[in-house]
Copies of this chain bind each other. A is one copy, B any other.
Amino acid sequence: MKDPLTSFPGYSLRRAANAASAELAQRLSVVGLRQSDASLLMLVEANPGVTASALGRRLDIQRANMVPILKRLEDAGLITRAPIDGKSQGLALTEAGRRTLTEAFQVIEQFERELIERIPAEHRAHLLPALDAIWR
């Protein structure tokens, strides 16, 4: 079949992201996490006491959509919320959260390693700067 889409970087970008995303989601499900869970746990670990709003801004997740994610992670015993003042709450990992994140981190590092290895060596170093130029 003729495929005029093959010449569009934007199309390949979407397809590559979808393929990688589906693969990582499947691997993370073994640890019981979604991608947004894992990225959120990483940011909380690196920034203990961070607020939900600040996390949402950094991850481009709207405040309203943070609510069910945080509720799920709290129900799973992975994070705690502690009042900072009357309207803000500081997030932190529980011990179980740290353990789960360690597992997730291994899954993700293995995934990233394999992702990079799929790319011909001469293109490898260019991918991250090219991608970052697109969205940052």
Contact = CB atoms under 8 A, between A and B. Distances in A.
A124 interface: yes
Copies per assembly? 2
Nearest to A14: B17
Contact of A133 (B1, B10, B118): B118
Interface residues of A, number: 53
Contact of A9 (B4, B5, B128): B128
A7 to B, nearest CB: 8
A127 B130 CA distance: 7
Contacts of A14: 17, 20-21, 35
A58 interface: yes
Contacts of A135: 12, 15-16, 18-20
Interface of A: 1-6, 8-21, 24, 35, 39, 42-43, 45-47, 50, 54, 58, 60, 108, 111-112, 115-116, 118-120, 122-124, 126-135
Given A13-B16, A15-B135, A16-B132, 4 more contacts: A1-B46, A4-B43, A10-B111, A123-B133
